[in-house]
Structure 1
């Protein structure tokens, strides 16, 4: 760690004192630093909020006026008071060391800078367990993609998640998920089998893998990537912490794919965090009779997610978000592989040249029906290989 030891311990103390994503705690640490803000809060717990409120301006992110600043601070002190006397950072560090966890803080070489986009909602620290030399950054990967979905997935959902994760692994994209049953587990298993890095973000402490039924899977994740948590060792996962954990999954990824989600699903919460961060969101469509696809359909219908027409769509979004020329070439190669796999697209492309050709002529040249030719050209357009003009279609 490159941060000063006292600052590291203060950050650990904050992670014990405040729940994940506590905006008041995050704002105080941002404004005054971890050590000073912790000392200010401890004094306020003992002698009242006046001094702390007096040092804050009305422009803080958690309140829009002086009166509301005081109200927010008083409420925060009440939240933190029960833990203030027992926030022992040394005990947390000892417990983390006992399970081989590495403590990472902002400013360290291994800190994922993408988490800084969370602003005052960013974690104070990360606990990381890995068997790799690079326990936080995904060495050799060109980007990261979150694959999330419901725990009670369907067979079709598992197949879709497996295909997307497999293609991502082939493209050198890291898989990020939550280590849960269902779609999360499918995505991690495929990544492990493919030998690509994968990250599982826990809702509880790094010393207890949850759910227990995925203990072996999470052990396998350690061999290919890492298990992360922002909560101190010993923290039990709760519904609130699962929802708060989802913001880290979204922030760590260049794109989020929701494979299956019921009307009320934690995967939708992850998608919401990704939208707030300006990250692209994709949703896999399913049967309209499937309760496991209701959430995906709503994301698409409300314009909050792009429909996954091809399993390569979200992967292309991750890869095209880089400035690396070699990675962009990989995108082009991936696109060619996608279209070559469809014989109708191949025949339609062979029928084109540089001048615009009407779809009827494409059909005649390719031996396809007009409808099949139109569908093939539409797919090729999604892959960026053809351009529709007023006079017809032509190759790019």
Structure 2
């Protein structure tokens, strides 16, 4: 295995320790094997997950390499002896194992761990491994489909810091009404102390991240490719802002390009990281429905925002509710009631009001009235409107979504 057992192994282990962080005492050799596995397999590969759970990363990797070279029967016997799920029927499991090794074989000889670690270091990424400080334990609910490692770019040492988390997902081609709903739900969750989780994509994902950032709330974006692949290109600055205020996460090795399959696979991480998921807009075949499906399988509450009867952007949301797979969002605080007990008292204080238009939001109206002919800083807008700094930030974010205000070097002004 390139970069694992080579003459540069000492340098590799030093680099592994660097990207693990000072508080992480994980075995660097086992960690290097985990990194190699993350290069070899696609996200969510349950056979790899079961082998690593039974034998540990290093032994599992060595056994698979030997099996690929002809020692298949030895690996099969070890699996039967270790009680790997499915191995009780050795004949059937042999077929599963052979298929897995066949799909891993093209990458077995070219997974250079040293290059992967160097690519991560080049963008300031850190490595998280299961059981170590900073690992989001909610992902363990995925069982054998859990990520083997996580790469992160973050200003904090852990993801979420134990705060209740809400996933806000939806269509990339959102409507104005969808953006308004996403903004209000996100703002309400942020005020309740929640971490906002999404996928960093265009549309509803971007609205959720932007509003969380404007509200000063932590936000997590799960990437479909490597941690060095900020995608889509139009959201690069947004994703950098997410990294500064929350965290970027990726399970694929640095250098891995986003693909349709990986977008679908990463949705299970968004669902697992959150205590509840809200789908704001979703067409009949939207990827957001895939996230809702994973959340339901994990036993996480799912909410859906209703739209116009004939709106193709909301047909997926309507079907979720009609099929009993999601609860209807009546007001922005509804999803908060399903989060951890930490927000229970705050949730009861949310007024029972329907989602309102940005233009009719009283705080937005006050902020717009406070704006003059020249751009103003937020502190001056707060003074003129009589609102707090946080309320001004939320109102400006909502107004910006509808194109009512614009930000320049001098501050905020009417668009």
- Band of TM-score, shorter chain: 0.7 to 0.9
1:214 aligned partner: 235
How far apart are residue 328 of structure 1 and its match? 3.3
Alpha-carbon distance between aligned partners in 2 of 1:57 and 1:304, rounded to the nearest angstrom: 38
Structure 1 residues 62 and 184, CA, compared in 2 at 3 Å: closer, same or farther? farther
Question: Residue by residue, what CA displacement relative to the aligned partner does 1:189-242 show, whole Å, maximum 9, x if unpaired?
Answer: 000111100000000000110001110110111121010000010000111101
TM-score, normalised to structure 2's length? 0.77
Question: Is the contact between residue 79 and residue 87 of structure 2 (CA under 8 Å) also seen in structure 1?
Answer: no
Root mean square deviation, CA, Å? 1.8
2:345 aligned partner: 329
SS across alignment from 1:196: coil
1:39 aligned partner: 62
SS across alignment from 1:282: strand
How far apart are residue 250 of structure 1 and its match? 0.3
Q: How many residues align?
A: 332
1:178 aligns with 2:199: yes
Of 250, 256, 260, which aligns to 1:229? Answer: 250
SS across alignment from 2:303: strand
2:323 aligned partner: 302
Alpha-carbon distance between aligned partners in 1 of 2:294 and 2:86, rounded to the nearest angstrom: 18
How far apart are residue 340 of structure 1 and its match? 12
Question: Residue by residue, what CA displacement relative to the aligned partner does 1:76-98 show, whole Å, maximum 9, x if unpaired?
Answer: 01111000001122211111011
Alpha-carbon distance between aligned partners in 2 of 1:89 and 1:278, rounded to the nearest angstrom: 36
Structure 1 residues 184 and 339, CA, compared in 2 at 3 Å: closer, same or farther? closer
How far apart are residue 257 of structure 1 and its match? 0.4
How far apart are residue 137 of structure 1 and its match? 2.4
2:174 aligned partner: 153
Alpha-carbon distance between aligned partners in 1 of 2:163 and 2:250, rounded to the nearest angstrom: 23
- Aligned pairs for 1:185-264 (under 5 A) are 185-264=206-285
Alpha-carbon distance between aligned partners in 2 of 1:109 and 1:69, rounded to the nearest angstrom: 35
Alpha-carbon distance between aligned partners in 1 of 2:211 and 2:88, rounded to the nearest angstrom: 47
SS across alignment from 1:179: coil
SS across alignment from 1:199: strand
Question: Is the contact between residue 62 and residue 72 of structure 1 (CA under 8 Å) also seen in structure 2?
Answer: no
2:93 aligned partner: 69
Structure 1 residues 268 and 62, CA, compared in 2 at 3 Å: closer, same or farther? farther
Alpha-carbon distance between aligned partners in 2 of 1:61 and 1:273, rounded to the nearest angstrom: 22
How far apart are residue 60 of structure 1 and its match? 4.1
SS across alignment from 1:56: helix
Q: Which has the larger Rg?
A: 1
Question: Is the contact between residue 159 and residue 247 of structure 2 (CA under 8 Å) also seen in structure 1?
Answer: no
Alpha-carbon distance between aligned partners in 2 of 1:341 and 1:54, rounded to the nearest angstrom: 60
1:99 aligns with 2:115: no
Question: Is the contact between residue 63 and residue 72 of structure 1 (CA under 8 Å) also seen in structure 2?
Answer: no
Structure 1 residues 299 and 339, CA, compared in 2 at 3 Å: closer, same or farther? closer
1:4 aligned partner: 27
SS across alignment from 2:93: helix
1:366 aligned partner: none
How far apart are residue 142 of structure 1 and its match? 3.1
Alpha-carbon distance between aligned partners in 2 of 1:3 and 1:56, rounded to the nearest angstrom: 25
Of 106, 118, 138, which aligns to 2:160? Answer: 138
1:119 aligns with 2:135: no
Question: Residue by residue, what CA displacement relative to the aligned partner does 1:25-48 show, whole Å, maximum 9, x if unpaired?
Answer: 001001111111001001011114
Of 62, 73, 85, which aligns to 1:50? Answer: 73
Alpha-carbon distance between aligned partners in 1 of 2:299 and 2:87, rounded to the nearest angstrom: 23
How far apart are residue 339 of structure 1 and its match? 6.2
Structure 2, unpaired ranges of 5+: 1-23, 357-415
- Aligned pairs for 1:267-346 (under 5 A) are 267-318=288-339, 321-322=340-341, 324=342, 327-332=343-348, 334-335=349-350, 337-338=351-352
Alpha-carbon distance between aligned partners in 1 of 2:72 and 2:117, rounded to the nearest angstrom: 30
How far apart are residue 5 of structure 1 and its match? 0.5
SS across alignment from 2:278: strand
SS across alignment from 1:2: coil
Alpha-carbon distance between aligned partners in 2 of 1:63 and 1:143, rounded to the nearest angstrom: 38
Alpha-carbon distance between aligned partners in 2 of 1:339 and 1:261, rounded to the nearest angstrom: 23
Question: Is the contact between residue 126 and residue 230 of structure 1 (CA under 8 Å) also seen in structure 2?
Answer: yes
Alpha-carbon distance between aligned partners in 1 of 2:273 and 2:86, rounded to the nearest angstrom: 24
Structure 1, unpaired ranges of 5+: 343-396
Question: Is the contact between residue 2 and residue 107 of structure 1 (CA under 8 Å) also seen in structure 2?
Answer: no
Alpha-carbon distance between aligned partners in 2 of 1:295 and 1:243, rounded to the nearest angstrom: 16
Alpha-carbon distance between aligned partners in 2 of 1:97 and 1:146, rounded to the nearest angstrom: 29
Alpha-carbon distance between aligned partners in 1 of 2:249 and 2:99, rounded to the nearest angstrom: 29
Question: Is the contact between residue 129 and residue 228 of structure 1 (CA under 8 Å) also seen in structure 2?
Answer: yes
Question: Residue by residue, what CA displacement relative to the aligned partner does 1:260-318 show, whole Å, maximum 9, x if unpaired?
Answer: 11111110100010011000000111112111111111110000011111111101211
